[in-house]
Amino acid sequence: PSPPPSVVAAPAPSTGGAPSARLFANIDTLADLDALDPAQVDGVGLVRTEFLLPSAAEALDEECHLARYRRILDRLAGRPVTLRMLDVGGDKALPGLVEGSPASVLGERGVRFLIAHPDLARLQARALLRAAAFGPVSVLLPMVTLPSERAAMAQLFDEEAARLERQGIAVARPPLGIMVEVPAVALTLDMFTDAAFFSVGTNDLMQYLAAAARDNPAVAHLYAGAETAMFRLLEHIATTARGLGRPVSLCGDIAGEPAALGRLVGMGLRDLSVAPSRLPALRAALGPRSEA
Ligand code: PEP
Ligand code: MG
């Protein structure tokens, strides 16, 4: 089957005077999903699966992954859904599997953890491949630093897809994109030509740019002060992605700031994925949703 459309497959339609952007939701939990009015969004731009499956028992159960992914697809009724693979480590614990610690913010988190725990990565890849047979799924890799990490995960998806197909289980190959949240990736995006799409995570990007933990009040002024550096980098990311012909969206908290909207849209970042609580203010700034 042909791959489902990426979350950011088509440019946002122009809406005259109001800034032109498409609005997607970030979903952390089933409660977020139930509270979401799908008619208000163009899709789900980020599912943080580490919060959707917040215990070892859930994260190690392939059927549990699949059931939750299908529930999201059902509710979004044909709109695109980007599921991010487990981003554990760093500040995010998965009780019974990995303890979060400030030290691991620079250690084995996100895709690094998945590569180091291939059984878990393969389990999630199988659930994602199976879910993609039921709707327009894209898969996002967290905390990528090097192209070899994306390639390793792509190979793992190929192997699991072949294995499921041999078993006669329906699968579809979702587009595989990467988070841009490590400064090294932002500066070398041109080396990621195999990535199907990019999603900018400004929460981590700011933390790593400023060397200031995102959750430490003592350095909050430095974190916030890195905004100028981050906007310069965003400009570079948007330009490079455009040159590569790859869709780029933004799912960090800054996407939900109405004050940043004009600037983001101005640099070509027109696909914004935000916390559900941010949707009403952004929708008001953008005007009513127009069906493409
Ligand atoms: C980010 O880092 O901006 C992001 C969207 O991912 P998370 O907040 O889950 O780390
Ligand atoms: Mg992040």
- How would you class 151 by CB atoms within 10 Å of its CB: exposed for 0-12, middle for 13-18, buried for 19 or more? exposed
Contact 51, 43 (CB under 8 A): no
How many angstroms does the Cα of residue 204 sit away from the middle of ligand 1?
Answer: 6
The response to whether residue 84 sits with its C-beta less than 6 Å from ligand 1 reads: no
Tokens of 229: 């550096």
Instruction: Find the mean pLDDT for residues 10-16.
Output: 44
Interval 126-183: pLDDT, tens: 999 999 999 999 999 999 999 999 999 999 999 999 999 999 999 999 999 999 999 9
**Per-residue pLDDT, 103:** 62
Instruction: Find the mean pLDDT for residues 240-253.
Output: 97
Q: Whose CA is nearest to atom 8 of ligand 1?
A: 203
First to last CA, the chain: 24
Residue scoring higher pLDDT (229 or 7): 229
Q: Whose CA is nearest to atom 10 of ligand 1?
A: 204
Instruction: From the CA of 87, give the closest atom in ligand 1.
Output: 9
Q: How far apart are CA 125 and CA 239, in angstroms?
A: 31
The response to whether residue 252 sits with its C-beta less than 6 Å from ligand 1 reads: yes
Interval 265-277: pLDDT, tens: 999 999 999 999 9
The response to whether residue 87 sits with its C-beta less than 6 Å from ligand 1 reads: yes
Angle, helix 279-286 to helix 258-266, in steps of 10 degrees: 50
Q: Tell me what percent of the residues of the chain surpass a pLDDT of 70.
A: 91
Contact 7, 138 (CB under 8 A): yes
Average pLDDT of the chain, as a whole number: 91
How many angstroms does the Cα of residue 182 sit away from the middle of ligand 2?
Answer: 9
Confidence band of 4 (pLDDT split at 50, 70, 90): very low
Q: How far apart are CA 128 and CA 138, in angstroms?
A: 9
How many angstroms does the Cα of residue 253 sit away from the middle of ligand 1?
Answer: 8
pLDDT > 70? residue 1 = no
ipTM, 2 decimals?
0.99
Interval 167-222: pLDDT, tens: 999 999 999 999 999 999 999 999 999 999 999 999 999 999 999 999 899 999 99
Mutate to test the pocket of ligand 1, among 52, 106, 112, 204 (most ligand atoms within 8 A of CB): 204
Q: How many residues does the chain have?
A: 292
Q: How far apart are CA 194 and CA 202, in angstroms?
A: 22
